[in-house]
Chains A and B, each alone.
Chain A
Amino acid sequence: MTSPNRNTPKNGIKMGIPLFLSYFPVAIAFGILSKNTGLNIYETVGFSVIVFAGASQFMAVSMIASGSMGLEIIIATLFLNFRHFLMSSSISQRIDFENPIMKPIVGFFITDETFSVASFTRGEFTEKYMLAMEVTAYLGWVTGTGIGFILGSILPMLLQKSMAIGLYALFVALLIPEIKKTNKALVLALASGVTNTILVKFLDLQQGWSIVVSIVLISSLGVLIYEKEERFYE
């Protein structure tokens, strides 16, 4: 491994800044949508402070708007966010905890984005690096939500719409450098994307489940195919 002191909390903040910037505009959109749905500012910001899971917050607010039952929304959220279980499992193997008391706090901030940045961090790191990165990202989500609620309508509509590409650009920008390191990254990501497309478009599976099934299926296939090779490198 590379020098053990490289991933300091300061590096964590640095890695969190792109997440802050990617979350911020999406959070503004959430703040606007929530306000238009009739939620007050405490509920809107509370959503982001307490739940901190973008896609499910959008889903919940839309479901509230269409008059869904509370239980229905909560069950849909469980399905949509269950992928975090796989992400936390994966990242739990990477974090070198100095203080295990921090586990439930580090875990709270696991999202698609914090998980991805942490996964592709080179070298070892402790929960301090992880938390610094996570909290930086979180602040972007929370402040964006509040600002969206208060000032949202000031932003031009077209700019708001354009900002939706930000998170996908982040995912692409995180994945591409990995492809240079190992062609497994490309093969596994493409196979998983194709599987997900088939599940969503042709089998009509809900987005939450389709991602979970794609991850489990293709990662397992990957184990079957690459296991010997991985052992070889041990």
Chain B
Amino acid sequence: MNSTVMIILGMMIVTYIPRILPFYMMTGKKLPQKIKIFLEFVPYTALGALIIPGALNAVPEAPFASVLALSFAGIYSYFKNNLIVAVVGSIFIVYLLFLI
């Protein structure tokens, strides 16, 4: 086995274990109320940390275009529920601003 294959397998193991462990530890168990609320908040806090500050650096050459594209994604999804338009539209906006 070459070293790249070893790296891939090693990465798989350290990524996979944290992904599946909670399903055995928690599914179907009666959890304390505090833990339940904590877990309900994770989607919001996770998305917050995934977006900020990374989004500003997504296209390092065009921070302004990034902000504009994400504003479009945000405003559009406030009114309409269509992820595809939000995603494709944002890419299109950044590309367009690159071309101008």
| Number of interchain pairs (Cβ within 8 Å) | 292
With an 8 Å Cβ cutoff, the count of chain A residues facing the other chain is: 100
Distance from B28 Cβ to chain A, minimum over Cβ atoms (Å): 7
Give min CB distance, A13 to chain B, whole Å.
13
Given A81-B15, A165-B90, A178-B44, A196–B38 Cβ distance below 8 Å? no
How distant is B17 from chain A, measured CB to nearest CB, in Å?
9
* Residues in chain A near residue B74, CB distance under 8 A: 172-173, 176
Across the interface, do A226 and B51 meet the contact criterion of CB distance under 8 Å? no
Query: How far apart are the CA atoms of A78 and B92 in the complex, in Å?
Result: 34
Judge whether A173 and B87 touch: CB under 8 Å: yes
In the complex the two chains form, what is the Cα distance from A17 to B27 in whole Å?
27
B46–A115 touching, CB < 8 Å: yes
Task: Report the Cα distance A50→B11, complex, angstroms.
Answer: 9
Q: How big is the B interface, by class? A: 35 or more
**A170 at the binding interface (Cβ < 8 Å):** yes
Q: Is A47 an interface residue (CB 8 A)?
A: yes
Q: Which residue of A lies closest to B88 (CB)?
A: A21
Specify the chain B residue showing the minimal Cβ separation from A105. B20
- In this complex, the member of A56, A184, A207, A222 whose beta carbon has the largest number of chain B beta carbons within 10 angstroms is A222
Closest CB-CB distance, A213 to chain B, in whole Å? 9
Assembled-state Cα–Cα distance A219/B5 (Å): 37
Specify which of A100, A161, A195 is in contact with B98 (CB 8 Å cutoff). A161
Residue from B31, B48, B91, B94 whose CB has the most chain A CB atoms within 10 Å? B48
Chain A residues in contact with chain B, CB under 8 A? 17-18, 21-22, 25, 39, 43, 46-47, 50-53, 56-57, 60, 64, 70-71, 73-75, 77-78, 81-90, 92-93, 95, 97, 100, 103-104, 106-108, 110, 112, 115-116, 119-120, 158-159, 161-180, 184-185, 188-197, 200-201, 207, 210-211, 214-215, 218-220, 222-223, 226-227, 230-231
Q: List 15 A-B contacts (CB under 8 A).
A: A21-B87, A50-B12, A51-B15, A60-B11, A85-B19, A107-B19, A107-B23, A162-B98, A164-B58, A168-B54, A168-B70, A189-B51, A211-B50, A222-B37, A222-B38
